[in-house]
Amino acid sequence: MAGLLDKRREDREEASIPTAGMADIAFLLLIFFLVTTTINVDTGIGMTLPPKLKPNQNPPPVKERNLMNVLVNSQGNVLVEEEEATVAEIRDRVKKHVLNYGNDPSLSASPDDAVISIKTDAQTPYSTYIEVLDEVWMAYREIWDQIAQTNTLPNPENSSAGLDQTYSSYREYYNQLGPDEDNQIRDAFGAQISIAEPDTGE
Amino acid sequence: MASQKFQRRSSSTEPEFTTASLPDIVFMLLIFFMVATVLRETDIQVRTQLPQAEALTKIDQKRLISKVHIGPLKRGENQGQTAIQIDDALIENRRTIRQIMYNKLQEQPQLIVSLKVDQESEMQIVNEVQQELREANALRINYSSNREGPPPS
């Protein structure tokens, strides 16, 4: 009897929590966090400033019809081509101006010639300026989205944009570009947004 | 009686944690924090509540970025006054920006200047900084802004 009891006790001592699966759980959690954690990536609206002009050099001439003036005053009111407008209207106005292809004599002759000029007042809040700039960029984004989706340029001839496939959006096209690859959409349909020089005294 | 009780206890199985996987857990936590932690290399002395925008681009190459913070001072005797901070120093004289940026451009010709401007700032100071950047020929800029909608929790 005693021997039997001893044997049982020996069995009990060997019982332990199985740890083989622990590593799997650890890896599962690690992968979960790796996937869900977003490393803080800097995002923003990219711009290129115009180069500094030489002392007696005049800014390059732009035809009045190609220029779309957007003025933002200190109260956040917007003036598009001397008319009052809301921030929400800017997107459609820009698209109309850029995609005119010479139809309306008061709008741009071609998208390559079209220039959107944003001018702000000294007291304009920065957030309003970004809102306006964002709307202008979004107008171009929407045009690029369409080019990416249809692989055709929005000109009257509907010529091909030269992409090897269509994408669901410009963002998708942009994300699959390699670091040295050319952005064909932007090469074919560029955006000219200019930040007007502030007035240096009246 | 007491000693007999004690003996009985010690003879039974000793409950014990298995510590074999403890290193795994520790490594997991370590790696997680290594990945998720963004090191703040400078103490930002101005408040920069960034504006929100939709047409955003990502800057993947962090080494190209040089940050310029513009916003009201968080503390000090001039608290609330709009100031410019580049790296860890506040800019006293705005004319010095061109020299700082010119030097940075010599080190990194593909420099992108990330303007972290508080959304309540006025355009005057932004324009001034932009004119300085043009003087230094640092023309690639980025208006740092967040995605529209509530910030991710």
Asked if A65 and A100 count as a contact pair (C-beta separation under 8 A), the reply is no
DSSP result, A61-130: P--GGGEEEEEE-TT--EEETTEEE-HHHHHHHHHHHHTTTTSSTTS-S-TTT-EEEEEE-TT-BHHHHH
Burial of B30 (0-12, 13-18, 19+ CB in 10 A): exposed
3-state SS assignment for residue B46 = strand
DSSP state of A196: P
What the block records as the tokens of B5 is 């009780």
Mean pLDDT, to the nearest integer, of A167-182?
81
The CA distance from A175 to A153, in Å, is 20
- Main-chain phi, psi angles of A21, to 5 degrees: -80, -10
Q: Cα separations (Å) of B35 from A39, A67, B28, B31, B32? A: 7, 47, 11, 6, 5
Which chain A residue has the Cα nearest residue B119? Answer: A127
pLDDT of residue B153: 40
| Domain assignments of chain B as residue spans, ordered by start | 2-36, 52-147
pLDDT of residue A39: 64
User: Which residues share a beta bridge with B113?
Assistant: B66, B141
Conformational region of residue A151, where left means phi above 0, alpha means psi within -120 to 50, and beta covers everything else: left
Of A41, A49, A198, the CB nearest to B133: A49
Contacts of B8 in chain A (CB under 8 A): none
Which chain B residue has the Cα nearest residue A72? Answer: B123
Mean pLDDT, to the nearest integer, of A137-164?
83
Q: Give start and end residues of each alpha helix (H) in B12-145.
A: 22-36, 97-107, 123-136
Do the strands B52-53 and B57-59 form a parallel or antiparallel pair, or are they unpaired? unpaired
DSSP state of A189: S
pLDDT tens digits, one per residue of A77-115: 888 888 888 888 888 888 888 888 878 888 888 888 888
Q: Which residues touch B110 (CB under 8 Å, ≥6 apart)?
A: B64, B140
Nearest-5° Cα angle at A127, A121 to A133: 75
Measure CA A191 to chain center: 12
Residue type present at position B102:
Y
CA of A38, closest CA in chain B: separation in Å?
7
Number of inter-chain CB pairs under 8 A, A vs B? 162
Q: Is B29 within 8 Å of chain A by CB?
A: no
pLDDT of residue A30: 72
CA of A3, closest CA in chain B: separation in Å?
16
Pick the closest to residue B134 from A130, A178, A47 (CA basis). A47
Contacts of A127 in chain B (CB under 8 A): 51, 119-120
pLDDT of residue A201: 45
Note the residue count of chain B.
153
What the block records as the tokens of A26 is 């650890």
pLDDT of residue B152: 46
Domains along chain A? 65-195 (3.30.420.270)
Residues of chain B with pLDDT under 70: 1-12, 34, 36-42, 149-153
Q: Is B57 within 8 Å of chain A by CB?
A: yes
Contacts of A44 in chain B (CB under 8 A): 53, 56-57, 59, 114-115, 142-145
Point out the least confidently predicted range of A118-132, A174-188, B83-97. A174-188
pLDDT of residue A202: 38
Which chain B residue has the Cα nearest residue A144? Answer: B55
Q: Cα separations (Å) of A7 from A1, A12, A111, B118? A: 10, 9, 91, 76
Contacts of A76 in chain B (CB under 8 A): none
Of B25, B56, B123, the CB nearest to A121: B123
User: Which residues share a beta bridge with B116?
Assistant: B69
Contacts of B134 in chain A (CB under 8 A): 49-52
Cross-chain residue pair B119–A127, CB shorter than 8 Å: yes
pLDDT of residue A12: 59
pLDDT tens digits, one per residue of A9-66: 555 567 777 766 666 776 777 777 666 665 667 888 888 888 887 777 777 777 888 8
Cross-chain residue pair B32–A37, CB shorter than 8 Å: yes
Of A37, A121, A137, the CB nearest to B36: A37
DSSP result, B113-148: EEEEE-TT-BHHHHHHHHHHHHHHT--EEEEE-EES
pLDDT of residue A5: 54
